Amino acid sequence: MFRDLVVKNRSYRGFDENCRIDRETLLELVDLTRFTAASANLQPLKYFVASEKEIVDQIQPLTKWAGSLSHLNLPYPGTRPTAFIVICQDENISASVGMLKDVGIVAQTITLGAAEKGLGCCMIGSFELAALKKLLNLPEKIEPKLVIALGKPAETIVLTDAEDGKTTYYRDEAGIHYVPKRKLEDILL
Amino acid sequence: MFRDLVVKNRSYRGFDENCRIDRETLLELVDLTRFTAASANLQPLKYFVASEKEIVDQIQPLTKWAGSLSHLNLPYPGTRPTAFIVICQDENISASVGMLKDVGIVAQTITLGAAEKGLGCCMIGSFELAALKKLLNLPEKIEPKLVIALGKPAETIVLTDAEDGKTTYYRDEAGIHYVPKRKLEDILL
């Protein structure tokens, strides 16, 4: 059932580094985005896929993970992602900020597709933009909007009900990651 | 397979008005969004669900469909959606424009969930904001960001490959709706 896939699709910040992801798998995930809704059907989003260890290891230090647990410097050495997909907006096609909706649409599609394959992802909105553009040698007006890290999940995530509107995620001593989600009654108008 | 669901999940602009959608079904779809990734886990998105004919019929004229086919005034009378989900941003929690990514994430999740149920949706980014806020009697700082129309699909949509970067959708004399999507090679960096 689709609901099971949505629940399975967690934001992972620890991976099995022995499990590499090949370029073909990343292309299958990007291909899914071709069939998603697009604002005015403009489709300004383009994708840099990184599966080779050399480039993956260069992207990793430019990404900033888990702002609420920044003291942990996640992901820990030895548990880093083994692939990245960088979602970029081709501003020659559209420079509209509204395309951030499209970014979310395709990002959710990619991560659900990855979850079906037994992979885990983390959407990363915080990264060193200028350095990333330089590293990926992106043409002018190709603007990275979201980085998706991928790998074989190697951590435990537990969803909880958010109480009193508190949604900050946290970890216990065993490293289990807890994510408070608002209850249905709290998100209905 | 998830890919089949993504392909099935088209943007419909014509529905069977005899097929009503009950509130429980809409709540199941909104409930899916509780399990999606959220920027910094803030979850500022809230949902107005409309299943009663009276309110659905009042929302409909405030929405603007299919900008590239505006002369057709879609959806045609007798083929209008039978439900709406209005995705709003609670700016008391976050007023960041970056939350548009979250809007896309939840919208894609809702429409995929609807597709699994045999329903069809259309994400509508163009609507009469002030009138909609007034109609729904939204509290201050609850800002509609995207309207999802839902119904039982009653039209045929055909995906084609975009040639020479032309992505404008169109209809033939039989009313079949064609949607050119960029090829994989054209969206890879």
Q: Which tokens is A151 given?
A: 């790998």
The angle at the Cα of A154, spanning A152 to A157, to the nearest 5 degrees, equals 115
The nearest CA of chain A is from the CA of B13 a distance in Å of 13
The nearest CA of chain B is from the CA of A57 a distance in Å of 19
The per-residue pLDDT of chain B, averaged, comes to 97
Three-state DSSP at A179 gives: strand
Q: Give me the pLDDT at residue A108, please.
A: 98
Q: Is the pLDDT of residue B54 over 90?
A: yes
> To the nearest 10°, the Cα dihedral for B8, B10, B15, B19?
40
Q: Chain A residues with CB inside 8 Å of B179's CB?
A: 41
The nearest CA of chain A is from the CA of B141 a distance in Å of 12
- CA distances to A149, B2, B32, B35, B120 from A4, rounded to whole Å, are 21, 12, 10, 10, 20
Q: Tell whether the torsion through CA atoms of B125, B130, B131 and B135 is positive or negative.
A: positive
Q: Which residues of A117-148 are buried (b: 16+ CB within 10 A; e: fewer)?
A: eebbbbbbbebeeeebbebbebeeebbbbbbb
Work out the pLDDT band at A144, boundaries 50, 70, 90: very high
The span from the CA of A3 to the CA of A112, in Å, is 11
Of A7, A159, A187, the CB nearest to B45: A187
The nearest CA of chain B is from the CA of A5 a distance in Å of 9
pLDDT, mean of residues A69-76? 92
- Closest chain A residue to B122, measured at CA: A37
The per-residue pLDDT of chain A, averaged, comes to 97
Best mutation target, A4, A11, A35, A169, to test chain B (most B CBs within 10 A):
A35
Backbone φ and ψ for A150, nearest 5 degrees, come out as -135, 150
CB under 8 Å to A118, separation ≥6 — which residues? A152
CB contact under 8 A, B9 and A35: yes
pLDDT, mean of residues B2-30? 98
CA gyration radius for chain B?
Answer: 17
Of A106, A125, A169, the CB nearest to B41: A169
CB contact under 8 A, A184 and B105: no
Q: Chain A residues with CB inside 8 Å of B3's CB?
A: 32, 35, 113
Q: Chain B residues with CB inside 8 Å of A45's CB?
A: 187
Task: Find the helix packing angle between A23-32 and A99-116, rounded to 10°.
Answer: 130
Return the closest-CA partner of residue B88 out of B21, B151, B30.
Answer: B30
Q: Is the pLDDT of residue A148 over 90?
A: yes
Work out the pLDDT band at A15, boundaries 50, 70, 90: very high
CB under 8 Å to B184, separation ≥6 — which residues? A27, A30, A31, A34
The nearest CA of chain A is from the CA of B19 a distance in Å of 22
- Residue A175, Cβ neighbours under 10 Å: how many? 11
Q: Which tokens is B90 given?
A: 């609670």
CB contact under 8 A, A104 and B103: yes
Of B5, B113, B189, the CB nearest to A47: B189
The span from the CA of A132 to the CA of A59, in Å, is 7
- CA distances to A71, B64, B75, B127, B136 from B59, rounded to whole Å, are 47, 11, 13, 9, 9
- Closest chain A residue to B111, measured at CA: A37
Q: Chain A residues with CB inside 8 Å of B171's CB?
A: none
With 0.95 as the threshold, say if the pTM is over it: yes
ipTM summary value: 0.98
CB contact under 8 A, A49 and B188: yes
- Cis peptide before A75, with omega less than 30 degrees from 0? yes
Q: Which tokens is A7 given?
A: 């629940």
Of A31, A145, A181, the CB nearest to B184: A31
Q: Is the pLDDT of residue B188 over 90?
A: yes
For the segment A23-34, what is each residue's pLDDT rounded down to a tens digit?
A: 999 999 999 999
- Closest chain A residue to B169, measured at CA: A41
Q: Give me the pLDDT at residue A67, please.
A: 86
CB contact under 8 A, B105 and A104: yes
Work out the pLDDT band at B67, boundaries 50, 70, 90: confident
CB contact under 8 A, A100 and B104: yes
For the segment A81-114, what is each residue's pLDDT rounded down to a tens digit?
A: 999 999 999 999 999 999 999 999 999 999 999 9
Share of chain B above pLDDT 90, in %: 96
